[in-house]
Amino acid sequence: MKILYLANIRIPSDKGESLQIMKMCGAFASLGYFIELVVPRRRSVRSYRVDPFEFYNINTKFKITRLITIDLMPWQKIFGHLAFKLNYWLFARLASLYTRLTDADVIYSRDWRTLQLLRRHKANLIFELHEFRAKDIWAYQSIEPACQKIVVITEGLRKKLLEIKIPASKIVVAPDSVDIDEFDINLTRSKARFLLNLPEDKKLVIYTGHLYKWKGIDTLVEAGSILDKNNLEVKLVLVGGQEFQVQEIKSKILADNISNIILLGHRPYSEMPVFLKAADVLVLSDSSKHDISREYTSPLKLFQYMAAKKPIVAPATEAIKEVLSEDNSYLFEPDNPASLAEAIMASLASESKSKNKVKKAWELVQGFTWVKRVEKILTAISSKP
């Protein structure tokens, strides 16, 4: 089977979308399928000087085709969102033209714009949806007839598609996944902290990833303040985020005189397994105030946390509870700093209880590998609608 994956992304980048797509393509390749990833050629020097397979720790290589297109992203400061939109449509046009010249058995994409241009020419499309937007309902409905399957990452997304009359037989729920061996590394907590220059005499609660508002970072910072005021020997370590986001949080920390938060900003993906091993507790803080975090997200970090064999503190949102429960994690009320602080304290209070939860999370994550995700999708493709 020949699979063509069309993605308007920069490879490599620090975006979760890029990681997820590369891991998916790697899983297809590891199962023996011919997979070609088609992406735009962007101006970023790093995209060409860094080996993407090494960057994302992918052992089975596959073909990456970079289409020559006009990169309008550097013009965003002048043209605003228009530059973003034009960038997407330019790639969609080029990718659709390129695809029409191929004999791929499956055309896979997370970009409805590209599939929109292909729907009249191809009937072997697979659309993967990670966020439901009401303004794009017409697009979902228009490409559905040409799609063999529509892959979604949560039950919340499946329900939304059913509401707009997408046939249930075409929908496949496949949460995000992880390379377990990549995060289950043989490294002690002490050694990990030494390598990362983190304090060894404190309890470390670590968060990794972007610092978007919908990820509940304000709640996490407020919880850190509560822990700080209680004089607990706890440090909250935030790994990731763009520079302006880091500066915003730094300003709040200074204004509120919070002393127990360590801001590290963006760090290489290769360091993430080490950071997870350095933790006493790993935390997610997604807000319930936004559709994407309440119903649609399937965080990559969630499965990485599970694979790292550490206690997990997470919000009891609909999306998170599709994977986690009180059996395998410490759940707290979303957007409630006091509840989050209490969950963190509970995770540190009982070593035996936490070990039991870690064991159950570890057993569960065995079913959330990239290879198993791909196998599930392939099985769905081969079945009749």
Give residue 86's pLDDT: 78
CATH 3.30.70.60 assigned to 180-365: no
Q: Are 117 and 12 within 8 A, CB to CB? A: no
Quick one: average pLDDT of 326-344?
98
Quick one: average pLDDT of 278-295?
97
Q: Mean pLDDT for the chain? A: 93
Quick one: average pLDDT of 23-33?
98
Give residue 83's pLDDT: 60
Give residue 68's pLDDT: 86
Give residue 383's pLDDT: 79
Residue 265: both structure tokens together: 């900003």
Residue 384 pLDDT exceeds 70: no
Give residue 302's pLDDT: 98
3-state secondary structure of 314: strand
Residue 365 pLDDT exceeds 50: yes
Cβ contacts of 280 within 8 Å, gap of 6 or more: 189, 203, 204, 205, 310, 311, 348
Quick one: average pLDDT of 26-52?
85
More confident residue, 76 or 276: 276
Quick one: average pLDDT of 133-146?
97
String of DSSP letters for 191-251:
HHHHHHT--SSSEEEEEES---GGGTHHHHHHHHHHHHHTT-SEEEEEE---HHHHHHHHH
Return the residue matching tokens 């013009």: 75
Residue 264 pLDDT exceeds 70: yes
Instruction: Name which of 73-87, 98-112, 149-163, 322-336 the model is least confident about.
Output: 73-87
Residue 156: both structure tokens together: 């919340």
Q: Do 180-365 and 2-177+369-382 have the same topology in CATH?
A: yes
CA angle 354, 224, 265 (to 5 degrees): 100
Give residue 75's pLDDT: 58
Residue 330 pLDDT exceeds 90: yes
Of 173, 144, 126, whose CA–CA distance to 296 is shortest?
Answer: 173
Give residue 123's pLDDT: 86
Report the percentage of the chain scoring pLDDT > 70: 94
3-state secondary structure of 35: strand
d(CA 56, CA 15): 12
| Domain range list for the chain | 2-177+369-382, 180-365
Quick one: average pLDDT of 53-61?
95
Quick one: average pLDDT of 73-94?
72
Give residue 232's pLDDT: 83
Residue 193 pLDDT exceeds 80: yes
More confident residue, 76 or 293: 293
CATH 1.10.1040.10 assigned to 2-177+369-382: no
Phi and psi of 109, rounded to 5°?
Answer: -165, 150
Give residue 126's pLDDT: 97
| Banded pLDDT at 78 (limits 50, 70, 90) | low
Residue 90 pLDDT exceeds 60: yes
Residue 242: both structure tokens together: 């763009």
d(CA 380, CA 172): 7
Residue 364 pLDDT exceeds 80: yes
For the full predicted model, state whether its pTM sits above 0.85: yes
Residue 301: both structure tokens together: 């970090």
Residue 48 pLDDT exceeds 60: no
